[in-house]
């Protein structure tokens, strides 16, 4: 199986720049090894609620704790194919306990740390997806290089322009979970709601393939020595007027591929 190449970027939106708020999105992506030495891709994105005072702390904590949890899971000899929804429900409780401790120390309500949760874990023969809130996960078909589909459609809350958060008491009830075994995807993207209108086609409820194709074409050609330049270029693109004219929100984009290098490089 080919080596994973990946990039994750979170950039501030123009609305937050104008208001003096920090970027409230966070992301993490790492390749870990299981007990057999096989690669496991772990990716997570989290969008802090715009109305929450410390949601940037919540989203950063969600990302770091999830990666740590998967690392500990693998280091104790567990297999990705045995991940269950209950594992994620238990992680949610541990995360909420950490948030409660932070909130108590800072004398703030837990809701001030509100954030979403979007995650992907992929081994050679198993792919696990979990999500609470908006944003989405898009995967490439194992059989068609130019077909991309979403795993969960973004969750909308009880009112327009609202969603659910992993910090909520009822978060476990809102958890979306899926596991696939056998021939699983070798390309995946995670993104927060700042990119939803660009990456998803709402009328047909489909992934917008022209959005993803150039990114993955470029990523497939990258070597480890060139990844820093790719990440810098990706961040610059997401912060460009071309994107900011269409969305003023914070934006997170994670891209990962283990497909063979393409001879047709497309720059972003």
Over residues 85-135, the pLDDT tens digits come to 999 999 999 999 999 999 999 999 999 999 999 999 999 999 999 999 999
CB 228 within 8 Å of CB 184: no
Cα 24 to Cα 115: distance, rounded to the nearest angstrom: 9
Confidence of residue 159 (pLDDT cuts 50, 70, 90): low
pTM over 0.85: yes
Band of residue 141 on the pLDDT scale cut at 50, 70, 90: confident
How distant, in Å, are the alpha carbons of 46, 142, 150, 191, 239 from that of 202? 22, 24, 12, 15, 23
Q: Which phi and psi (to 5°) does residue 181 adopt? A: -125, 165
More confident residue, 189 or 162: 189
Q: What is the DSSP letter of 260?
A: P
Beta bridge partners of 119: 44, 130
Please determine, for residue 145, whether its predicted confidence score (pLDDT) is greater than 80. Answer: no
Nearest-angstrom CA–CA distance, 28 and 41: 11
CB contact burial 197-223 (16+ within 10 A = b; e otherwise): ebbbeeeeeebbeebbeebbbbbbbbe
Alpha-carbon distance 32 to 145, whole Å? Answer: 25
Band of the pLDDT at 267, cuts 50, 70, 90? very low
Q: What is the rounded average pLDDT for all residues in the chain?
A: 92
Minimum mean pLDDT among 143-152, 206-215, 245-254: which range?
A: 143-152
Residue 223 — pLDDT band, cuts 50, 70, 90?
confident
Residues 198 and 207: their CA atoms lie apart, in Å, by: 9
Where does residue 18 rank: exposed (0-12), middle (13-18), buried (19+ CB within 10 A)? Answer: exposed
SS3 249: coil
């Amino acid at each position: 199986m080919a080596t994973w190449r990946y990039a994750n970027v979170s950039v501030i939106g123009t609305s937050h720049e104008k208001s003096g708020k920090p970027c409230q999105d966070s992301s993490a992506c790492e390749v870990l090894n299981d007990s057999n030495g096989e690669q496991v891709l772990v990716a997570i994105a989290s969008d802090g609620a715009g109305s929450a005072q410390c949601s940037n702390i919540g989203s950063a904590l969600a990302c770091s704790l999830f990666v740590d949890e998967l690392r500990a899971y693998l280091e104790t000899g567990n297999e990705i194919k045995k991940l269950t929804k209950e594992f994620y429900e238990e992680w949610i409780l541990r995360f909420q306990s950490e948030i409660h401790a932070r909130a108590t120390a800072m004398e703030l309500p837990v809701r001030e740390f509100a954030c979403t949760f979007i995650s992907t874990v992929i081994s050679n023969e198993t792919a696990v997806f979990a999500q609470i809130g908006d944003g989405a996960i898009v995967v490439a078909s194992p059989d068609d290089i130019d077909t991309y589909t979403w795993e969960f459609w973004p969750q909308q809350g009880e009112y327009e322009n609202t969603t659910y958060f992993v910090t909520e008491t009822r978060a476990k009830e809102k958890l979306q979970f899926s596991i696939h075994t056998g021939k699983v995807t070798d390309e995946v993207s995670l993104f927060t709601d700042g990119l939803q209108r660009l990456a998803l086609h709402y009328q047909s409820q489909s992934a917008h393939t022209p959005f993803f194709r150039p990114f993955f074409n470029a990523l497939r050609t990258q070597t480890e020595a060139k990844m820093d330049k790719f990440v810098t270029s990706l961040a610059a693109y997401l912060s460009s007027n071309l994107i900011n004219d269409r969305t003023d929100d914070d934006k997170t984009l994670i891209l990962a591929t283990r497909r063979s290098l393409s001879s047709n490089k497309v720059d972003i």
